[in-house]
């Protein structure tokens, strides 16, 4: 078992878990992800490594409760753990050689964005961060980003923190004023990454996005995480999950994310009628 050493609720329905996984921590780099399985009947869930500590032998993940499986993970307590944990998976992103980078995070996307921003800062890059959420109580990692950002902006849909509106509006203002950004990294809901990429394309600003595609094995074996990048089909698990935002077919990704909507609903319903075994009985 991969034990949970520390658990913190960092926002409404969002938890941060520190998990014992020394071999994974030793190899983790910004951009890597892992796949966990809570128990024998659980799905394999891909999660970005939000932080890692080689000395402690731990990796940190941040999970938001949206469906059955994420709730199952959020309900785990310190001392409990994952039956399986595999990683680090995916290609790390390059963070050296930039002078000034803008990092745009939306919702849970702030979590995978953090190790990249932190690594950029450690490499001497000027980091400007824009963090967004629906409301102030859902905004995560503000303090962490504050520490590693030269400038930090925030945006919430209802204006409860920072700019009232979208991160893209803040970004557009910035791009109008400053023309020395060399890279934008945007991680968040698919639609946010799409809009950011469309905006930065106008300014010819290189943009990296990170896709949380559906996947099973995470090693290129199932091909479920297919994404069209430019003219080519790529697998998010081995070729990504980070890609050039100007080349990703976001509309295709938005559609692919809807694939299991009905089944997710079924699993959720299942819990209401009293347990997973009852509802599976055939008449």
Partner 1 sequence: MSQEGIKHEMPEQDPIERINNFDEVALGYDEETAIKEAKRCLQCSNPKCKAGCPVEVDIPGFIQLVAEGKFEEAAKKVKEKNNLPAICGRVCPQEDQCEAECVVGIKDEPVAIGRLERFVADYTSDNEEAKEIQQDQGKVAVVGAGPSGLTAAADLAKMGYQVTIFEAFHKPGGVLTYGIPEFRLPKEVVKREVAKIKELGVEIKLNQVIGKIKGVDELFEEGYDAVFVGTGAGLPKFLGLEGENLNGVYSANEFLTRVNLMKAYKFPEYKTPVYVGDKVAVVGGGNVAMDAARTALRLGAEESIIVYRRGRKEMPAREEEIHHAQQEGVQFELLNNPTKILGDEDGFVTGMECIRMELGEPDDSGRRRPIPIEGSEFRIDVDTVIMAIGQSPNPILINDTSKLETTDWGTIITDEETGETTKAGVFAGGDVVTGAATVIEAMGAGKKAARSIAEYIDNR
Query: Using CA atoms, how far apart are residues 278 and 214, in angstroms rounded to an integer?
Result: 28
According to CB under 8 A, which one of 57, 165, 189, 220 is a site residue for partner 1?
Answer: 220
According to CB under 8 A, which one of 1, 9, 12, 23 is a site residue for partner 1?
Answer: 23
Piece in contact with partner 1 (CB under 8 A), picked from 20-28, 104-112, 140-148, 177-185: 20-28
Binding flag, residue 174, partner 1 (CB under 8 A): no
Angle between helices 190-202 and 167-177 (to 10 degrees): 20
Residues in contact with partner 1, shown as a per-residue x/- string from 75 to 114 under the rule CB under 8 A: --------xxxxxxx-------------------------
Structure tokens at 4: 């949970």
Structure tokens at 246: 């100007």
Binding flag, residue 61, partner 1 (CB under 8 A): no
H or E stretch at 208: strand 207-210
Binding flag, residue 247, partner 1 (CB under 8 A): no
Binding flag, residue 258, partner 1 (CB under 8 A): yes
Q: How far is the CB of 27 from partner 1 (least distance, A)?
A: 6
Binding flag, residue 252, partner 1 (CB under 8 A): yes
3-state DSSP of 216-282: CCCCCCCCCCEEEECCEEEEHHHHCCEEECCCECHHHHHHHCCCCHHHHHHHHHHHHCCCCCHHHCC
Binding flag, residue 230, partner 1 (CB under 8 A): no
Beta strands in 38-176 (DSSP E): 45-48, 51-53, 58-64, 81-82, 84-89, 100-106, 126-133, 151-156, 163-164
Piece in contact with partner 1 (CB under 8 A), picked from 52-60, 137-145, 166-174, 250-258: 250-258
Q: How far is the CB of 168 from partner 1 (least distance, A)?
A: 24
Torsion, Cα of 102, 138, 163, 176 (10° steps): 20
Beta strands in 90-190 (DSSP E): 100-106, 126-133, 151-156, 163-164, 183-187
According to CB under 8 A, which one of 57, 165, 189, 224 is a site residue for partner 1?
Answer: 224
Q: How far is the CB of 52 from partner 1 (least distance, A)?
A: 13
Interface size with partner 1, residues (CB under 8 A)? 46
Piece in contact with partner 1 (CB under 8 A), picked from 53-61, 131-139, 144-152, 215-223: 215-223
Binding flag, residue 69, partner 1 (CB under 8 A): yes
Structure tokens at 210: 């990170």
Interface contacts to partner 1, rule CB under 8 A: 23-24, 27, 37, 41-44, 68-69, 83-89, 216-224, 226-228, 233, 238, 252, 255-256, 258-260, 263-264, 266-267, 270, 276-277, 279-280
């Amino acid at each position: 078992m991969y034990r949970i050493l520390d658990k913190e609720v960092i926002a409404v329905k969002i938890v941060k878990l520190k998990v014992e996984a020394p071999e994974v921590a030793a190899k983790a780099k910004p951009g890597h992800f892992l796949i966990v399985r809570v128990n024998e009947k659980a799905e394999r869930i891909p999660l970005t490594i939000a932080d890692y500590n080689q000395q402690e032998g731990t990796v940190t993940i941040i999970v938001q409760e949206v469906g059955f499986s994420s709730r199952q993970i959020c309900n785990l307590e310190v001392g409990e753990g994952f039956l399986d944990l595999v990683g680090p998976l995916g290609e790390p992103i390059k963070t050296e050689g930039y002078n000034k980078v803008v990092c745009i995070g939306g919702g849970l996307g702030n979590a995978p964005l953090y190790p990249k921003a932190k690594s950029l800062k450690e490499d001497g890059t000027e980091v400007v961060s824009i963090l967004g959420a629906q409301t102030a109580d859902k905004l995560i990692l503000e303090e962490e980003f504050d520490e590693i950002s030269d400038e930090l902006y925030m945006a919430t849909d209802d204006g409860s923190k920072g700019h009232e509106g979208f991160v893209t509006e803040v970004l557009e203002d910035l791009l109008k004023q400053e023309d020395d950004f060399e890279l934008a990294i945007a991680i968040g809901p698919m639609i946010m990454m799409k809009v950011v990429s469309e905006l930065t394309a106008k300014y010819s600003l290189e943009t990296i996005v990170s896709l949380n595609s559906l996947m099973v094995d995470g090693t290129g074996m199932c091909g479920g995480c297919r994404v069209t990048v430019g003219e080519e089909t790529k697998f998010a698990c081995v070729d990504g999950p980070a890609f050039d935002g100007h080349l990703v077919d976001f509309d295709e990704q938005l559609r692919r994310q809807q694939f299991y909507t009905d089944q997710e609903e079924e699993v959720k319903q299942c819990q209401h009628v009293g347990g997973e075994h009852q509802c599976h009985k055939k008449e």
